[in-house]
Every structure is written in structure tokens, then in C-alpha cells.
């Protein structure tokens, strides 16, 4: 076996056919991240010319990470170890400070009340990463921006018609659809003006929730990189043509992903997200899609989890993923980074003292 750099076509062909393939590891994502100022490398393991493992490693400011990867047979621990050893060697060669890996492995499946339906033993994976020097970052209920820890999914394999599908929704969701569907037009947009409307709607929800929004260039990068694999959806008010809500959807051979969405706040009572959710599910069923992923959420099953409450109305299931393992590749640079970050959280004499420590550390190099 050899640890190698892959061509985009090699990664794409292997990843799209693997049961572990996912949006985070699509070759097009590397292109988008590079345009956003990240380094992105396509690594893999080959036996002769046959690809056995593949991943995209992203790096910025010395932090290298592999989100929801690598793509390989995770039951083959010999292969996993060979891939991980090669990845560590590349992190050192490229002078990374830290290396984080988020395997695409489940810890549990649950219902929307948090009751465990199925657990997955991952002791071998925990031991393998520990033996390689990684620290497990722990289980959490928080939303993880680097790679999803908790997602909601809808299994469409048991439905034969849109009527059967809608019958699986909660009664209050069906009532909202009867009332609001007739007030909204749902359409897909591709031009610059349409992307701007989608971005505006998403910004509306982000502002309300205190989340930083992407600018229009981000959506343009996605459109250019993913082509027909990405869909930009709008809900418009039939009465006046105003944008009410927007959504970005990705198609992958393993699933359709509702990536990001948002509502223009003055129209939030029109329940456009409910209509968009139903539109996505019905169209996915018609295409023969077996799984729709409604993406990240907090793994908090209290009554205050409004996002889970909304998604649960569509008869979803919850998946908990294993999360992150971190290796400190260069401990000296890591300590310096931590000190520099600490400066931003203190002031006055404390800030001057930290700067003095940093200068002394630099002089000892």
C-alpha cells in the first residue's frame, strides 16, 4: 500500500461510490475552500493503482483537519492505521500545528425524544487513535461547525407516494401546509440575482440567531464548483413577489442534504420553511432518493430545542456521530498560538506580560 496525493477525478470516483462518502469529502468542496483562502489536499491510499482510501485535508493558520473522513472501510483497522500514519506524516511535512480528524462514524441512532434506538461500539477506533497520539475531544450536545455531531434524517425507503409521505408528518405540520402552501411560490434559481435573494433570506435567520453570515461570493463559489449537484431554492410571496425564505440543497449519491436555509424575518409567520421542507421531501421521493439529511443540530432533547422541534414534525430520526480526535503536531508552536489567543482576552499589564513571554520564546528559537 502507498499513501499518495490523489487527482480530483480519482477522489471523486472513489468517494461517490463509497457508503462513507459525504458532502464534506466531495472533491468540489476542496475547490470552494481554496477560493476561501484555505489549503486543501486530496490524499489517499492505493494498492497498485486501486484506491482503497481517500480524504480531503483542509488547513488554515496551522490547523489541519479532515471533516467526516477519510472515506474507506472503517472495519479494516489495518487500512485505517496505514491511512492515519500517512496523514500524520503529511501534517508534519507541511508544518501543521494541529491535526483534527472527524471520522464519518455513528455512535448512536435515536428518536426525537433522545431515546437510543441503536448504539455502535467504537472501542477499536478509540484505541487506534489513542495509540497514534490523538486526544478524543469528547461527546457533546453542542453544534459542531467543523463536522456534524448531531443530524436529523428522513428515511424515504418505505414510502410509495406523496400522500403516504405527508401522512408521516405531525398533524400541526399538515395543517400549516394546507394553510400556507397556497400563499407561496417555490422555485429554483441560478442567476446572480437569485443567489442574492437566497443569501438575503439566510442572513435574516442568521442575524436573528446571532450567527455570522456568508457574503454573496460564497454562494457563487458553491454554484460554480458544484454545478447541477447544488440547488438554490426560494419561497416567494404570491401576493407581492417578495422573497420569504431561501435554501441550499446538495445532491450526493448517498443522500440529499438540506445544507443551509433561512427566512426573511418580517415573513416568518408564513411558515415558508415548513413548505420548503415538504417540497424537498416530495421531490426527493419522486427522484427515488432514499435518505434526506436535514443537517446539523444541537443534541439537546429539551423542549427548548426549537430546531429539533421543527424537524421532528416531519417524522425524522436523530443520528449522533463520533466527533473529533486531535493531535498536537508541533507543541512549541501550539503553546505560542495559545498565548497569542490569550492576549485577545486580557488587557493592560496582562497583555504586555504575555507579549514579553512571546518575545522571549521567539529569541530562544
Residues 32 and 110 in one domain: yes
Rounded Cα–Cα distance for residues 94 and 102 (Å): 20
* Residue 271, phi then psi, degrees to nearest 5: 55, 40
Residues 108 and 200 in one domain: no
pLDDT for position 345: 62
Residues 203 and 270 in one domain: yes
- Which of 17-26, 199-208, 232-241 has the least mean pLDDT? 199-208
Residue 345 domain-assigned (yes or no): no
Residue 224 domain-assigned (yes or no): yes
Rounded Cα–Cα distance for residues 77 and 287 (Å): 36
Looking at the structure of the chain, the number of domains it has is: 2
Residue 296 domain-assigned (yes or no): no
Residues 144 and 187 in one domain: no
Rounded Cα–Cα distance for residues 202 and 184 (Å): 17
Distances (CA, A) of 259 to 19, 47, 334: 19, 35, 32
Residues 132 and 269 in one domain: no
Residue 354 pLDDT > 60: no
pLDDT for position 125: 98
Residues 53 and 119 in one domain: yes
Residue 353 pLDDT > 90: no
Residue 356 pLDDT > 80: no
Residue 78's domain comprises 2-150+323-329
From 239, 255, 276, give the residue that closes a domain.
Answer: 276
Q: What is the CATH number of the domain that holds 197?
A: 3.40.630.30
Residue 353 domain-assigned (yes or no): no
pLDDT confidence of 344, banded at 50, 70, 90?
low
Span 70-100, pLDDT tens digits:
999 999 999 999 999 999 999 999 999 999 9
Residues 136 and 230 in one domain: no
Spatial CA neighbour of 16 closest among 4, 28, 5:
28
How many CB atoms are closer than 10 A to CB 359?
10
Residue 97 domain-assigned (yes or no): yes
pTM of the model: 0.89
pLDDT for position 364: 52
Residue 124 domain-assigned (yes or no): yes
pLDDT for position 305: 87
Residue 53 half-sphere exposure, CB side, CA atoms within 13 Å? 28
The strands making up 116-119's β-sheet, listed across from edge to edge, are 116-119, 106-110, 317-321, 150-155, 291-296, 255-263, 243-252, 230-237, 184-189
Residues 143 and 203 in one domain: no
Please state the rounded mean pLDDT for residues 8-37.
97
Summary mean pLDDT of the chain: 92
Distances (CA, A) of 190 to 39, 227, 328: 28, 10, 43
Residues 12 and 71 in one domain: yes
Amino acid at each position: 500500500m502507498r499513501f499518495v496525493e490523489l487527482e480530483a477525478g480519482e477522489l471523486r470516483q472513489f468517494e461517490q461510490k463509497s457508503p462513507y462518502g459525504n458532502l464534506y469529502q466531495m472533491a468540489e468542496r476542496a475547490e470552494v475552500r481554496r477560493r476561501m483562502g484555505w489549503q486543501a489536499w486530496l490524499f489517499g491510499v492505493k494498492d497498485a493503482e486501486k484506491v482503497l482510501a481517500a480524504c480531503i485535508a483542509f488547513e488554515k493558520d496551522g490547523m489541519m483537519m479532515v471533516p467526516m473522513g477519510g472515506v474507506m472501510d472503517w472495519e479494516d483497522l489495518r487500512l485505517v492505521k496505514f491511512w492515519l500514519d500517512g496523514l500524520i506524516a503529511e501534517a508534519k511535512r507541511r508544518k501543521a500545528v494541529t491535526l483534527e480528524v472527524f471520522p464519518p462514524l455513528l455512535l448512536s441512532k435515536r428518536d426525537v425524544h433522545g431515546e437510543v434506538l441503536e448504539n455502535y461500539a467504537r472501542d477499536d477506533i478509540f484505541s487506534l487513535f489513542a495509540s497514534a497520539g490523538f486526544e478524543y475531544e469528547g461527546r457533546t450536545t453542542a453544534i459542531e461547525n467543523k463536522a456534524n455531531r448531531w443530524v436529523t434524517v428522513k428515511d424515504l425507503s418505505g414510502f410509495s407516494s406523496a400522500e403516504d409521505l405527508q401522512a408521516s408528518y405531525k398533524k400541526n405540520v399538515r395543517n400549516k401546509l394546507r394553510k400556507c402552501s397556497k400563499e407561496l411560490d417555490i422555485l429554483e434559481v441560478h442567476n446572480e440575482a437569485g443567489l442574492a435573494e437566497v443569501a438575503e433570506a439566510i442572513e435574516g435567520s442568521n442575524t436573528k440567531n446571532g450567527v455570522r453570515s456568508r457574503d454573496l461570493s460564497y454562494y457563487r463559489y458553491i454554484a460554480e464548483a458544484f454545478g447541477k449537484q447544488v440547488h438554490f431554492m426560494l419561497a416567494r410571496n404570491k401576493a407581492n413577489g417578495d422573497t420569504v425564505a431561501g435554501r441550499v440543497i446538495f445532491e450526493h449519491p448517498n443522500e440529499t442534504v438540506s445544507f443551509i436555509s433561512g427566512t426573511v424575518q418580517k415573513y416568518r409567520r408564513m411558515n415558508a420553511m415548513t413548505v420548503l421542507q415538504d417540497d424537498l421531501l416530495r421531490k426527493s421521493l419522486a427522484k427515488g432518493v432514499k435518505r434526506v439529511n436535514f443537517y446539523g443540530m444541537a443534541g439537546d432533547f429539551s423542549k427548548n430545542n426549537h430546531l429539533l422541534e421543527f424537524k421532528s414534525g416531519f417524522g425524522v430520526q436523530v443520528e449522533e456521530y463520533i466527533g473529533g480526535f486531535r493531535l498536537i503536531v508541533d507543541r512549541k508552536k501550539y503553546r505560542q498560538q495559545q498565548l497569542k489567543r490569550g492576549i485577545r482576552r486580557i488587557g493592560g499589564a496582562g497583555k504586555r506580560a504575555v507579549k514579553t513571554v512571546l518575545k522571549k520564546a521567539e529569541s530562544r528559537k
